[in-house]
Amino acid sequence: MFSLMANCCNWLKRWRQPARKITLVMVGLDNAGKTATVRGIQGESPEDVAPTVGFSKVDLKQGKFEVTIFDLGGGKKIRGIWKNYYSESYGVVFVVDSSDVQRIQETRDTMAEVLRHPRISGKPVLVLANKQDRDGALAEADIIENLSLEKLVNENKCLCQIEPCSAVLGYGKKGDKSIRNGLNWLLNNIAKDYEAISERVRKDTAEQRAQEEQEKRERQERRVRRIREVRRRRRGEEEER
């Protein structure tokens, strides 16, 4: 009887707990299928997706989690903004185009740069080996080898799961189960260390904001100095006349 009451109390306590808020960054080279993946998770058609310029933000409910995903553009010129989102991320989704063998080295170098960043290192990483429906797509073992994935995640102390998938084969409940399984893996592993990751996110976010404020002040100071220098030169020119 007491055991039954205790179980009921525990269930009620878990039921009343607020949903855990989690932010994820989704990265990868341009044309890897990041936006198609996000749309499929949302239950929207992943077909006819335009390349992401900059970023897009998606909010969704996944079980007991309220998830925000930043889908970051993968072009070379835009990858520099990725680091601006690392501090608030609880984990990473890295999407790989399994069929683009010509860019596998670029993918590896980009992934290494992401995982080595001090605001990402140690956080769980889901690798989606996308476009498995295409001819010539690399198998899971080949992707692991070509990306030196085991070495990268061990060096940077990141829990990692790789899921071969195809984002365009369906969406919502009819979407690729590997994508849903991978996302569940990522969220569950974040939940296991939620408090520690949350504290790290709070600290990193505060440090980044302080850094941005400092850079803003320095830009303003440089601007003021330039204005004063222009005014000084003009006064000098007027005096010479």
Has 132 been labeled as part of a binding site? yes
Selection from 2-11, 95-104, 219-228 with the highest mean pLDDT: 95-104
Beta strands in 18-172 (DSSP E): 20-27, 55-62, 65-72, 91-97, 125-130, 160-164
Which CATH number does the domain 19-192 belong to among 3.40.50.150, 2.60.40.1180, 3.30.70.260, 3.40.50.300?
A: 3.40.50.300
Residue 35 labeled ligand binder: yes
Model confidence at 125: pLDDT above 80? yes
Ligand-binding site membership of 37 (annotated): no
Phi, psi dihedral angles at 112 (to 5 degrees): -60, -40
Q: Does 23 show up as a binding residue in the annotation?
A: no
Helix residue ranges, H only, the chain: 2-16, 34-42, 104-116, 140-146, 149-155, 177-192, 194-240
Residue 232, pLDDT > 50, answer yes
Q: Is 130 annotated as a binding residue?
A: yes
What is the C-alpha to C-alpha distance for residues 78 and 81, in angstroms, rounded to an integer? Answer: 6
21 is in an annotated binding site: no
pLDDT band (50, 70, 90) for residue 158: very high
* pLDDT score of 10: 53
Instruction: Say if residue 137 carries a ligand binding annotation.
Output: no
Binned at pLDDT 50, 70 and 90, residue 15 comes out as very low
Q: Could you tell me the CA-to-CA distances from 41 to 52, 57, 65, 160, 208 in Å, in that order?
A: 17, 13, 14, 20, 30
Q: Is 31 annotated as a binding residue?
A: yes
User: What is the rounded average pLDDT for all residues in the chain?
Assistant: 87
Between 73 and 171, residue with greater pLDDT: 73
pLDDT tens-place string over residues 127-147:
999 999 999 999 999 999 999
Determine if residue 30 is labeled as part of a ligand binding site: yes
Q: Is 133 known as a binding-site position?
A: yes
Could you tell me the sign of the dihedral formed by the alpha carbons of 184, 188, 189, 193, in that order?
positive
48 is in an annotated binding site: no
DSSP-assigned beta bridge partners for residue 68: 23, 59
What values do phi and psi take at 98, rounded to 5? -65, -20
156 appears as a binding residue in the annotation:
no
For residue 53, the model assigns a pLDDT of: 60
Q: Do the annotations mark residue 32 as ligand-binding? A: yes
- Whether residue 2 is predicted with pLDDT greater than 50 in this model: the reply is no
For residue range 172-222, list pLDDT tens digits in order.
677 789 999 999 999 999 999 999 999 999 999 998 888 778 877 888 888
- Measured CA to CA, the distance from residue 200 to residue 204 in angstroms comes to 6
> pLDDT tens across 91-114, in order?
999 999 999 999 999 999 999 999
Residue 34 annotated as part of some ligand binding site: yes
Poorest-pLDDT segment among 15-19, 38-42, 134-138: 15-19
From CA 102, how far away is CA 30, in angstroms rounded?
13
